[in-house]
Amino acid sequence: MVARFLTRARHSAGLALLVGLGVSLAATSRAAAQEYDLILRNGRVVDGTGGPWFRADVAVSGETIVALGPSLPGTGRRTIDLGDQVVAPGFIDVHTHTCRGIIEVPTADNYVLQGVTTVFDGQDGSSPLPVAGLLERVAALPPAVNFGTFVGHGSAREEVMGREDRAPTPAELERMVAIVTQSMKEGAFGLSTGLFYVPGAFASTDEVVALARAAGESGGIHVSHMRDEAAGVLESVAETIAIGEEGQLPTQLTHHKIIGRAGWGRSVETLRLVAEARARGIDVTIDQYPYTASSTSFSAALFPRWALEGGAEARAARLAEPESRARVREAVIGKIRKERGGGDASRLQIAAFPGDPSFDGKTLADVLREQNQEPTVEAAADLAIEIVERGGATGIFHAMAEEDVERILASPFTMVASDGEIPVFGRGQPHPRSYGTFARVLGFYVRERGLLTLEEAVRKMTSLPAMRVGLSGRGLVRPGMKADLVVFDPATIRDRATFEKPHAYAEGVSLLLVNGTLVVDEGRLTGVRPGRVLLGPAAVGADR
């Protein structure tokens, strides 16, 4: 119990450190006149704390915010009058799958045009190993945004045990713990679990706790794609909380959602579980993307876990055997009827199908009609199985309720995260969250819906995620902090990406600085790539 509270206190100290780096506005405004690299004058400062905005100038020299206050004395090599625009900390996305695209598109255009300055990879239990190799590849680019990663439990398990459905031997568990410990030394920020995915789905809670404890001992956190976000969502939330409590480290429900019509409204109960856990001293938080559709592979979303054990060859062998194929088909029908599809083939959309790109963007109902078939649940199941047999596809599954999305987003424990990727513009039909998450929150949920204040939304995108992962030098507009800054018009910022036309950049961000360098200038990409690799709490010489 004492250790758990000490762990919580260590992470809570992050906010005190961030705030302590600031100086008073009055003291800053009295500073002797000097020349800065950049002065942003007359902006509405939304500083990331959640407190009310204030009018001030922000001065930057090198990579650092060096002065803040009304009518700052001095000059800048460049001075920009912001008028009535907002200046805020650059947005921090704690859940992305950007390592898949950052090599090909290191400018990360879809993210920077939303105001994102930092992304975190290694989610859902999956990360390249060794972590040091991934970080070296990213650092060599370098990218336009800062980049950090978690180490994946599923990746460690597969490295040691393959994709087998069994408990590890003591020696195997020790090897997995060693991978996590070494990954933390190499720069990981914590452990991610994907207990919904193979092979993570085959792990017991005790196995995960052992690895989580190793991450916590190195100062890291635990972030989980839970086992079940549909019928078993309450049990999965309880398990995620237990991993934090027993592993003695902060724990997070990642991309929290309620899947399937039968469960709509249960966010009332999941949020109650989180609040009760926090009340008894367990450091649990949430991240979320603001959409009513999820995205993952067809096999992960629809196939039973036993059918995926052993990898693609073993799965193909099961589908070739009539009895096991019939069992798979029955399970897929159940998933379409009760969970990811809500009993409607038009709710299952194909995002990217390398086996036949003409399918991209179409729903299973669309394809079935083109094949002169009725779009029944049974026909949709057969088509989904065929897609998996032909190499698989990523899908978009429209199976969530707006009321749950809004309830989760409004929780004070929830931060904003995209679960997105860096796509090649125009390729495939990705989930629009990759292009629109942060702009959507500011444009739709703040300006149009009034669900959040502007200040609270910015807190959920900046200081809250910064504290969560231990970024002591980012997430607030304060002298001494890194100059990761976004300037946007709160009256015009909006997402433009839709499920039908996802390749559309967000609008409204006029300036974006990453480590003091303009990546977006007057609404246009500069092509400059000043981002750097961020290292977690156990790494020597970490830049955070």
417-428 pLDDT tens trace: 999 999 999 999
Cβ atoms of 484 and 118 closer than 8 Å: yes
117-174 pLDDT per residue, tens = 999 999 999 999 999 999 999 999 999 999 999 999 999 999 999 999 999 999 999 9
Q: By three-state DSSP, how is residue 82 classified?
A: coil
419-455 burial code (b ≥16 CB/10 A, e <16): bbbbbeeeebbbbbbbbbbbbbbbbbbbbeeebbebb
Cβ atoms of 182 and 151 closer than 8 Å: no
What values do phi and psi take at 442, rounded to 5? -70, -40
The mean per-residue pLDDT over the stretch 512-536 comes to: 98
Percent of the residues in the chain that have a pLDDT greater than 90, as a whole number: 91
pLDDT band at 16, cuts 50/70/90? very low
pLDDT value of position 196: 96
The mean per-residue pLDDT over the stretch 216-225 comes to: 98
pLDDT value of position 33: 67
CA–CA separation, 514 and 176 (whole Å) = 35
- Helix-, strand-, coil-residue percentages of the chain, each rounded to 5: 40, 20, 40
CA separation (Å) from 117 to 33, 46, 113?
30, 16, 10
CA–CA separation, 46 and 475 (whole Å) = 11
pLDDT value of position 207: 98
Cβ atoms of 205 and 232 closer than 8 Å: no
Q: By three-state DSSP, how is residue 509 classified?
A: strand
Closest CA to 91 of 519, 526, 522, 429: 519
225-259 pLDDT per residue, tens = 999 999 999 999 999 999 999 999 999 999 999 99
Average pLDDT value for the chain: 93
CA separation (Å) from 417 to 63, 93, 227, 241, 433?
25, 5, 19, 20, 9
What values do phi and psi take at 137, rounded to 5? -65, -40
Res. 9: pLDDT tops 50: no
The mean per-residue pLDDT over the stretch 212-223 comes to: 98
CA–CA separation, 489 and 44 (whole Å) = 10
Helix (H) / strand (E) element for 327: namely helix 322-338
Res. 217: pLDDT tops 80: yes
Helices vs strands, H then E, count in the chain = 18, 21
CA–CA separation, 7 and 5 (whole Å) = 5
367-417 pLDDT per residue, tens = 999 999 999 999 999 999 999 999 999 999 999 999 999 999 999 999 999
pTM: 0.92
Cβ atoms of 124 and 225 closer than 8 Å: yes
CA–CA separation, 200 and 193 (whole Å) = 7
pLDDT value of position 5: 32
The mean per-residue pLDDT over the stretch 527-535 comes to: 97
Q: By three-state DSSP, how is residue 66 classified?
A: strand
- Alpha-helix runs per DSSP H in 355-428: 364-370, 377-389, 402-410
Res. 544: pLDDT tops 80: no
CA–CA separation, 398 and 500 (whole Å) = 13
441-464 pLDDT per residue, tens = 999 999 999 999 999 999 999 999
**What are 493's two structure tokens?**
């910022």
pLDDT band at 32, cuts 50/70/90? low
Helix (H) / strand (E) element for 224: namely strand 221-225
CA–CA separation, 342 and 398 (whole Å) = 8
First to last CA, the chain: 29
**Taking the domains of the chain in order of start, what are their residue ranges?**
89-292+400-525, 296-398
pLDDT value of position 26: 39
pLDDT band at 341, cuts 50/70/90? confident
Least confident range from 311-315, 401-405, 529-533: namely 311-315
89-292+400-525: what fold? TIM Barrel (3.20.20)
Least confident range from 16-20, 32-36, 112-116, 255-259: namely 16-20
CB atoms within 10 A of CB 358: 10
Res. 18: pLDDT tops 80: no
For residue 150, the Cα-to-chain-centroid distance in whole angstroms is: 11
The mean per-residue pLDDT over the stretch 468-488 comes to: 97
